[in-house]
Amino acid sequence: MISLDWNEVYKGTPPWDIGRPQPAFEILVEDGEIKPGRALDIGCGRGDNAIMLAMNGCDVTGIDLVEDAISDAKKKAAERHVKVNFLIGDVLKMNQLFREAEFEIIIDSGLFHAMTDEERPVFAQQLHRVLKPGSKYFMLCFSDKEPGDYGPRRISKAEIESTFTPLFDIIYIKDSAFHSRSGPSSSEVYSASAYLVSAVRS
Ligand SMILES: C[S@@+](CC[C@H](N)C(=O)[O-])C[C@H]1O[C@@H](n2cnc3c(N)ncnc32)[C@H](O)[C@@H]1O
């Protein structure tokens, strides 16, 4: 797996920065699966998904490691007159940032698929700690149905199950799409095979 220098990629336009929310999360809002509540967008990047949730009644915090991404996200929210609490921080150290059970929704657009094998158990524990019991984690990742080896690591259903069970009850792992600017052969916005996961915090 190629490891990315997150600070470096935000000097330009990273492939996942499509300048709008991922359609998979918009559909979750439209279908009422994501309802107004205290939401956390982990690895929020330039903030389009977090802003979309805030525009739909959520009280949103967005967290990312990269200062430039957070400052761009803050500017974008201010331009759109939307209130989002964007902050710089490490998802693997959220115990230093948030209280237990502080959030009612977590969304993850492309962060889990960037975690190493060693980071995965810590990641699941950190999410479990900040989510209220019975609340949901929604995650979009590249799936093992996406051909080639460009871009992020492909994730199997078995890997999702072994990472999040038993801290979470997995409601579904659905075929979905991750829109990005990179693809096997084009620089246009490309729709990669993805899994959309809904999981309840046990
Ligand atoms: C694939 S990008 C997705 C960004 C955004 N969610 C989107 O859909 O546009 C993954 C993001 O996670 C951030 N990230 C990576 N590791 C992180 C960590 N340990 N804590 C917080 N953010 C992290 C990166 O800086 C990057 O913005």
Q: What is the pLDDT of residue 177?
A: 98
15 lines ligand 1 (CB under 6 A): no
Domain range summary for the chain, segments of one domain joined by +: 28-144+156-172
Q: What is the pLDDT of residue 73?
A: 98
Confidence bin at 187 (pLDDT 50/70/90)? low
User: Can you identify the CATH homologous superfamily of domain 28-144+156-172?
Assistant: Vaccinia Virus protein VP39 (3.40.50.150)
Q: Which atom of ligand 1 is nearest to the CA of 152?
A: 1
C-alpha 17, offset from chain centre: 12
Smallest CA separation from ligand 1 atom 1, residue: 110
Q: What is the pLDDT of residue 181?
A: 87
Q: Which atom of ligand 1 is nearest to the CA of 22?
A: 8
Distance 27 CA to ligand 1 centre (A): 21
Tell me which of 189 and 83 has the higher pLDDT.
83
From residue 117, how far is each of 1, 62, 120, 166 by CA, in Å?
A: 11, 24, 5, 17
Q: What is the pLDDT of residue 179?
A: 96
Smallest CA separation from ligand 1 atom 2, residue: 110
51 lines ligand 1 (CB under 6 A): no
Pairing of strands 103-109, 168-180: unpaired
Pairing of strands 85-88, 131-142: unpaired
Q: What is the pLDDT of residue 1?
A: 47
Distance 129 CA to ligand 1 centre (A): 19
Assigned token pair, 122: 């810590």
Q: What is the mean pLDDT of residues 65-85?
A: 98
